[in-house]
Structure 1
Amino acid sequence: MVMRFAFCFILFAVALPALAIDRLTASVDKNPVLVGEYFTLTIEANGKVSGQMPDTSAISKNFVTGPISTSSRTQIVNGSMSSATSWQMQVMSRSAGEFTIPAFDISGTKSQPINLRVVARESDESQQKDVFVTTELSPESLYVQQAALYTVKLFIGKDLLDAQMTQPMMDEGSITPMGQQEESYEVLDGRRYRVITRKYLVQPQKSGSFTIEGPIFNGQVREGYRRMAVSAVGDAIDIEVKPIPDDYRGAWLPSELVNLAEEWQPEDKQVIVGSPITRTFTLTALGITKEQMPDLDIPSVDGFRIYPDETDRNQMARDGRVISQMVASYALLPQKPGKYTLPEIQLPWFNTVINRIQYATLPARTIEVIADPNQPQQPVVQPQTNAITQPVAPPSEPEPTIIYKDSEKSWLDWLIMCLGYVLWLATLLTFLFKKSPAPLQTSSTNDQATVTTDAQTKLKLLGKVAKQNDLRQFYTLLRAYVELEYQQSLKAWLSQQPTEIREEIAKLQASLYSSNKQQVELVTLYNYMNKIKKRSKSDAKIHLETLY
């Protein structure tokens, strides 16, 4: 009976939540503390909490706070049960002075406020010699969205065991790490330091006065046979951010120096129709990021097809400056002979050194496009008339006039008539022998047969290359086949072909000379060529039958 009563009592005690918290306390593990030194704030509640947490938002106004960790415990001593919940967080002050950590409230129970003293680092000169942090901003004067290089150096004079350093902070600005940290050694005042260097990219997003708060270092070093906690804070840097000038037009590009250059492949100012030209632009700028590099506006030129190629953007830090570079290539395909002038290219940018708008300029360029000397000239076809010219017999001797009499013909009359028919027959045979075509020379026949054989070989190779899906080799063979088979350039031959084959070859050219890669069915294109070949043979056969 007693055991049953004790079991029920314990079960009831566990299930019954506490009606209130007995006590709520707040404490710190250090007081006073150094500027930039982390200390631990502990809040503890005796009693059942039921998932509640203290509100710590008030201390964020004067302190830098870390995440909160929660722990709880329950004890039963001599049948008496007690429970407690504690919350801990790392807190740090960036400035010296007297501060008050306010009271905390949970379920109506409040803690006592804490008076905290934060001491400036100059009061601890011995530690300053062991560990210290320096900060530097270049350039110091900035415009909106202008990129600056922020350099942090951590000097450590003892063996480092553990280290943690925060990132610098700035309101209305972005701070991004650049590359990996660097390690080196320097000697200052006769003491050797291990130096850890970190670089950041700073970009203010609004104009006005701002402060870049320096990073905070906390760690442990070895001193003899014991571990010693150390900390350091980088100096804050005040900056004045200037707005975008009202008279500036175009994409905002604030920089100390902008350079625009170009390269041509081939470099000749005289090119052949259909031969691709590669034009490469290189844009270099100081004090901006690679994301800020603008796209170039390349004007179109009548007589040229322009295909954009890949664009590459990079950035790096050198001599305390951020340097960005963009390389963009374009393929130019001349379509017809003539002289063309590619217009001037201008890119506006704002010079932050002299505070003036300037232009990166490429002058106009004249290019002469000539016809392909290896292509035969297209013959001029004379229009054919529908009228059929009848052969005209050469003049012959006048036939004798025969006078018929009503009386019966004599033998002399019959003789004269027969001689007239024989003379007419001889004249007709003479005319026919003069009009018969002369036989072709043997050398011409052999040349024509050779051309036909080469064209057929090229057509067979087109089929093999189509199955291999080799676009460039297929295009080269296609041009050679058309020149052999039809005695025309590819452009002239295409103007006489159906729309579907012109569209397929346009896709092939775009895939070879532009970044607009398209799906080209080479097998389908090869089948088109076979159909055209068969149709040409059929038309030739019908034409010959009509003549004969």
Structure 2
Amino acid sequence: MRMSVNQTNWAKKCLSPWLLLLTMAMALLPLQAMAAQAEATVSKNVVAVNQVFQLSVSVDTAINPDSVDFSVLSPDFAYGQPSVSSSTSVINGTMSRSTTWTIAIAAKKVGTATIPAFKIGSSQTTPITITVLKGSQKNNAANTDQSNVRMTAEIDKNTLYVGESINYRVKIFIGEQLSQASLSAPSGDGLAVSQVGQDAQNNIVQNGRRYLVITRNYQLTAQKAGNIVIHGSTFSGSAVRGANGFSSGITVPVNKNARDINLTIKPKPADYKGLWLPTPDLQLQQTWQPQVSNQNEITTKVGEPITRTITLRIKDVAQSNMPNINLTYPDTVRIYNEKPEYRTENGYSVMILKQVIIPRQAGNVALPPLAINWWNTTTAKQQQSEIKGLTLNVTADPTANSHFAPAATATPPTTTATQPIKTLVSVGIWPWTTLVFAILWLITLVLLVKKRQQPVVTAAIATTQNPDIATALETAINDNDPIKVQTYYQQWRHQQHSLLTSQPQLLQQLDDEVKAMMATHYSPLDSQWNNKTLLTLLAQAKQLKTIKHTSKTLTSLDPQ
């Protein structure tokens, strides 16, 4: 059976549109099969502020792990680092692949928050609406957060005087993982605040829960009278929550404030006299070196150093309010003050002052006592603490005398007896000749007597160095030991007094250099003393020699 031409044309006209539609449909089927499906889900859609829940984003294909941009969450949510997993499965010979992102998030504020759509390739997820409640409305979540991190603050007392200090102790109890933690100091109008010591850490268990406890101490010093509020310390940090084997969790900010505390500051009493030192306890002590068996008197020698150590301990007083100790000593001693040492121990500010006292001359020397007035804040009365002075019985050092070699003794020359003059009684020239010789002899005798009456000078050369003291002095200089240098120098100077006074310029240089050494050693500035100059001057002094002059007068001749 054959179709006519008209029938054939009609069939072509009828089938052409259907063939076109069928062809287009068949072409679209692969595209639909190739389009990946993206989906977002949450573990909870009703949460409390800062409560951590889980967001999952998945796509049914293998794709780059960085294909999802989670920064779109930042306006309303805090979030951690996502974990990415990929899977491949074969069912009835058909292979399928998927990629899933899991991330912990937490809403920042009460109300309604929206998790926006995530675009993954040509697909995107559907937005999710989250209802955010207050902590008390959602299983007391806020109370749970409070128990994770909490603070306490306490002080020694609530009433104190101007200038008095108290200890402010703050403790932080941490029951979860934190990062970037910081603690600010308390504050208050009219309060000087300084941290005391280092933070202390320990672990405790309360109600079956383990906490890390950090303790920090501050010293608060009242600077004006009146009622003052201590604004508590502030703790801030970030808690890592929601971390597990599949997610690193999120970082949630944590801020805690210690309670405010009221203070009453009393003024200085109008009738108080002396330096204002308000404290519940003040201790003033001293020691002597060498040790003093008799508390009022000690025997020593010129040039021997005595060390006086004064220790002042004041409770609840800042180091900046410690008094300066100034004692007036007599001119018969030389004083060298070391730089005071300060430290804090058991709530006390401690100052240690060391003084080196060197007697300059023999006799009785009275070293001054010390008295400090202070206000007892416990009894509300003025008190005085005192340490006694000391009397020095200073004797001359016998080893400080000059040692000279004995001078040679001038021995008068022996004279021979003179024979008596015999007069010849004869006439002639002989009497006149004898008279001339007698006159000449008398003249010679007078000249001889005058010559013998002149002092006979004998040079007795003696070295003036005492090898023991000179060697000890040189050793002390090389060791840079100022106390020994001062002691041995005074002894050596006494020994060489007659020698050194003949060289006043050298003596002055030696004195100045020893003073410079002591001043440098006891100066509050960190400076170094060069001992080369003093060693050079000492070497010059060793080269000096002295001539001792002794004289004796001859016995007058009595001619017969």
Q: Smaller-chain TM-score range?
A: 0.5 to 0.7
Q: 1:422 to 1:309 in 2, by over 3 A?
A: same
Q: How does 1:489-508 map to 2 (within 5 A)?
A: 489-490=495-496, 497-498=503-504, 501-502=507-508, 504-508=510-514
| 1:331-410 to 2 correspondences below 5 Å | 331-376=356-401, 409-410=427-428
Q: In structure 2, what is the Cα distance between the partners aligned to 1:335 and 1:534?
A: 25
Instruction: Kindly provide the CA deviation profile for residues 274-300 of structure 1, in whole angstroms up to 9, marking residues without a partner as x.
Output: 222222211111101222211101112
Structure 1: distance between partners of 2:290 and 2:467: 34
Offset at residue 247 of structure 1 (A): 2.1
Shift of 1:250: 3.2
Deviation (angstroms), 1:232: 3.1
CA distance in 1, matches of 2:227, 2:546: 80
Matched AA of 1:260: L
Q: Relative to structure 1, is the Cα distance of residues 471 and 233 closer, same or farther in structure 2, using a 3 angstrom cutoff?
A: closer
Provide closer, same or farther for how the CA distance between residues 378 and 278 of structure 1 changes in structure 2, counting only shifts above 3 A.
Answer: same
Q: Name structure 1 gaps, 5 residues minimum.
A: 1-31, 35-116, 380-390, 483-487, 544-548
Equivalent residue for 1:129, pick from 141, 147, 166: 147
Matched, 1:452 2:463: yes
User: Residue 168 of structure 1 corresponds to which residue in structure 2?
Assistant: 186
Aligned length: 394
CA–CA separation in structure 1 for the residues paired with 2:474 and 2:348: 51
Question: RMSD across aligned C-alpha pairs, in angstroms?
Answer: 5.3
Partner of 2:37: none
Tell whether 2:310 aligns with 1:285.
no
Judge conservation of contact 2:367–2:390 (CA < 8 Å) in 1. Answer: yes
- Is 1:270 matched up with 2:299? yes
Give the stretch that moved more between structures: 507-516 or 274-283.
507-516
Identity %: 25
Deviation of residue 238 (structure 1)?
0.7
| Distance of aligned partners of 1:216 and 1:495 in 2 relative to their CA distance in 1, 3 Å threshold | same
Counterpart amino acid of residue 129 in structure 1: S
What is the Cα deviation at residue 361 of structure 1? Answer: 0.8
Contact 1:132 1:155 in 2 (8 A): yes
In structure 2, what is the Cα distance between the partners aligned to 1:464 and 1:378?
21
TM-fit CA distance, 1:184? 0.8
SS in 1 for 2:323: coil
Paired residue for 2:59? none
Q: Please give the alpha-carbon distance, in whole angstroms, between the structure 2 residues aligned to 1:158 and 1:463.
A: 68
**What CA distance in whole angstroms lies between the structure 1 residues aligned with 2:349 and 2:191?**
20
Contact 1:288 1:323 in 2 (8 A): yes
Match of 2:522 among 515, 519, 529: 515
Change (3 A) 1:165 1:310: closer
Aligned match of 2:56: none
Are the equivalent residues in 2 in contact too, given 1:289–1:315 (CA < 8 A)? no
The answer to whether the Cα contact below 8 Å between 2:278 and 2:376 also exists between their aligned partners in 1 is: yes
Question: What are the residue-to-residue correspondences of 1:197-346 with 2, within 5 Å?
Answer: 197-218=215-236, 219-222=238-241, 225=244, 226-227=249-250, 230-267=254-291, 269-316=298-345, 318=346, 322-346=347-371
* Residues 534/425 of structure 1: CA separation in 2 closer, same or farther (3 Å cut): same
Q: 1:526 to 1:481 in 2, by over 3 A?
A: farther
Query: What's the secondary structure of 2:507's corresponding residue?
Result: helix
Bigger mean CA offset, 260-269 vs 519-528: 519-528
Per the alignment, residue 22 of structure 1 pairs with: none
Could you tell me which amino acid in structure 2 is paired with residue 157 of structure 1?
G
| Alignment match, 1:10 | none
1:33: how far off?
A: 9.3
> After the TM superposition, which residues 407-446 of structure 1 pair with which residues of structure 2 at under 5 Å, given as runs?
409-410=427-428, 413=431
SS at match of 1:178: strand
Q: Which has the larger radius of gyration?
A: 2
Aligned equivalents of 2:135, 2:503: Cα separation in 1: 88
Gaps of 5+ in 2: 1-47, 51-133, 293-297, 405-412, 552-560
How far apart, in 2, do the equivalents of 1:419 and 1:161 lie?
A: 130
Cα distance in 2 for partners of 1:415, 1:129 equals: 145
Q: Is the 8 A contact 2:464 2:546 kept in 1?
A: no
Secondary structure (helix, strand or coil) at the match of 1:310 reads coil
Deviation track 1:487-526 (CA, whole Å, cap 9, x = no partner) reads x535666566525632541341352376247977854884
Cα drift, residue 367 of structure 1: 0.9
One-letter identity of the residue aligned with 1:265: Q
The AA in structure 2 aligned to 1:356 is K
Kept in 1: contact 2:308–2:355 (CA 8 A): yes
Post-superposition Cα deviations, 1:379-437, rounded to whole Å, max 9, x if no partner, equal: 9xxxxxxxxxxx9x99999978999xxxx943774697599689979989998999999
Output the TM-score relative to the length of structure 2.
0.56
Q: 1:33 to 1:291 in 2, by over 3 A?
A: farther
Counterpart amino acid of residue 410 in structure 1: G
Q: How far apart are residue 366 of structure 1 and its match?
A: 0.8
Deviations 1:144-198 (A, max 9, x none): 1212111111112233355344332212212222233222112223432221112
CA gap 1:160/1:326 in 2 versus in 1, 3 angstroms: same
Give distance in 2, aligned partners of 1:333 and 1:358. 33
2:197 pairs with 1:179: yes
Instruction: Assess if the C-alpha contact under 8 Å between 1:158 and 1:223 holds in 2.
Output: no
What's the offset of the Cα at 1:212?
A: 0.8
**Cα distance between partner residues in 1 of 2:334 and 2:422:** 77
Is the 2:397–2:491 Cα contact (8 Å) retained in structure 1?
A: no
* TM-score with structure 1 setting the length: 0.57
